Amino acid sequence: MSRADAARQLGLTRATITHLVESLSGRNLVTELRPKRQKNSRREPGRPGVTITLHPDGGYFLGAEIGVGVMRFALLDFGLNVVDTVTVSVSPKISPGAAIERVAGHARALEKNGKFKGRLRSLGMTVPGLVRSDGFVVHLPILGWKDVNLQALAESQVHVPTLVENNANAAAFGEAYLKPSQPQDSIVYLKLGTGCGGAAIVNGRLLRGAAGNAGEFGHLRVAASGPQCSCGQVGCLESWVNLAALAKAYRTKMPPAEDGLSLPMRIASKAVEGDRAARAAINSIADYLTIGLLSLTNIFNPHTIFLGGAMRPVLASCLEALRGRVGAGIVPGMRVPEIRLSTLGEMECAIGAATITHHRACDVSHIEIADIG
């Protein structure tokens, strides 16, 4: 926005805004954009058209997703541009220590290549499991981790403020943070892959619950029996809509972790070719997913439900069916939610983690300009 708009919105004088902008631009935190002057165009009197914006070089924020058999990294600049992404295959049973060594090694490589110019502000990490707000990974059965102080482990090696977040929470937050124009009051997000993570944004904030564990939508009970879920129970939504469920519905063996990620793509393209078994497998996923989406809609009355994760190709091929079934199955009179694929793609958790650290750095409720500068 322009200096005049900033003064108006913040209730400050033009002189104060000028002082603040000069101070912030001296620290490379904001910059002023001048519109390209077109030939023969006359400037509107009193509206110079110069806007203040975040300076991309003001700081850098690294997001790291620790997944099953895979780690993904995304580097965001202060202007929220994604400046670097990397995906690496790792052991599907990677230990916390080995994962942090990978993160630290990646940060060193980025620094060596001049990617963040000595201005890495913070690190955000995600895991597909239960995380406490103090950075403790409480329960991560899919990797076999329990009670790990991941935040302390990371900070001892990467030496920047670090936060640890549930992967679906991070992806949902990133989706909302990078698209401020979309309605933020009520968003539900499901990440379907090896497991099924969930998150809800209610009144513009991540729903956290009493201990930070809210949004475990994958463990909604949708049946009284069924395959055993990663949580130890039976009948959870996750066990009917994840990669293993897809493989089972297609009567194929679940491939090893790294190859498993491409299974949805294979089945979705088979379905396009007219393969009946592939279509039936996708239908089976859609049937159970509908039950979960109906419950979530009845609970949250969401504006939008975003679907992401490794199951994306399968979700894309049944998106219209899901929309129709959810519309027909909710309480009559209730608003039908928009159901969309998440827009950030496979980097959604890493980008989301970086956006949360960016938000913390800019959050006026505990901003410390001296620290940022």
How many whole angstroms separate alpha carbon 361 and alpha carbon 369? 9
Q: Give me the numbers of helices (H) and strands (E) for the chain, helices first please.
A: 14, 15
Looking at the Cβ atoms of 81 and 233, the one nearer to Zn ion is 233
Q: How many CB atoms lie within 10 A of CB 85?
A: 15
How many whole angstroms separate alpha carbon 254 and alpha carbon 250? 10
How many whole angstroms separate alpha carbon 62 and alpha carbon 355? 9
CB 286 within 8 Å of CB 324: no
CB of 301 to Zn ion, least distance (A): 24
CB of 229 to Zn ion, least distance (A): 3
How many whole angstroms separate alpha carbon 217 and alpha carbon 238? 8
Looking at the Cβ atoms of 169 and 355, the one nearer to Zn ion is 169
How many whole angstroms separate alpha carbon 224 and alpha carbon 330? 21
For Zn ion, the binding residues in 276-305 under the rule CB under 5 A are none
Looking at the Cβ atoms of 55 and 219, the one nearer to Zn ion is 219
Contact partners, residue 184, CB within 8 Å, separation at least 6? 176, 201, 204
Q: How many residues bind Zn ion (CB under 5 A)?
A: 5
CB of 240 to Zn ion, least distance (A): 10
Q: Strands 120-127 and 82-89: what pairing?
A: unpaired
How many whole angstroms separate alpha carbon 312 and alpha carbon 191? 9
Q: Which of 202, 186, 187, 195 is nearest to 166 (CA)?
A: 195
CB of 293 to Zn ion, least distance (A): 17
Looking at the Cβ atoms of 100 and 237, the one nearer to Zn ion is 237
CB of 231 to Zn ion, least distance (A): 3
Looking at the Cβ atoms of 234 and 341, the one nearer to Zn ion is 234
Q: In what order do the strands lie in the sheet with 120-127?
A: 82-89, 70-77, 60-66, 120-127, 162-166
Looking at the Cβ atoms of 55 and 191, the one nearer to Zn ion is 191
Looking at the Cβ atoms of 61 and 145, the one nearer to Zn ion is 145
Looking at the Cβ atoms of 311 and 330, the one nearer to Zn ion is 311
How many whole angstroms separate alpha carbon 39 and alpha carbon 21? 29
Site string for Zn ion, 184-223 (x = CB under 5 A): -----------------------------------x----
Looking at the Cβ atoms of 99 and 236, the one nearer to Zn ion is 236
CB of 309 to Zn ion, least distance (A): 16
CB of 84 to Zn ion, least distance (A): 35
How many whole angstroms separate alpha carbon 222 and alpha carbon 19? 58
143 binds Zn ion (CB under 5 A): no
CB 234 within 8 Å of CB 279: no
CB of 219 to Zn ion, least distance (A): 4
CB of 256 to Zn ion, least distance (A): 23
CB 319 within 8 Å of CB 305: no
Site string for Zn ion, 222-241 (x = CB under 5 A): -------x-x-x--x-----
Residues lying near Zn ion in the complex (CB under 5 A): 219, 229, 231, 233, 236
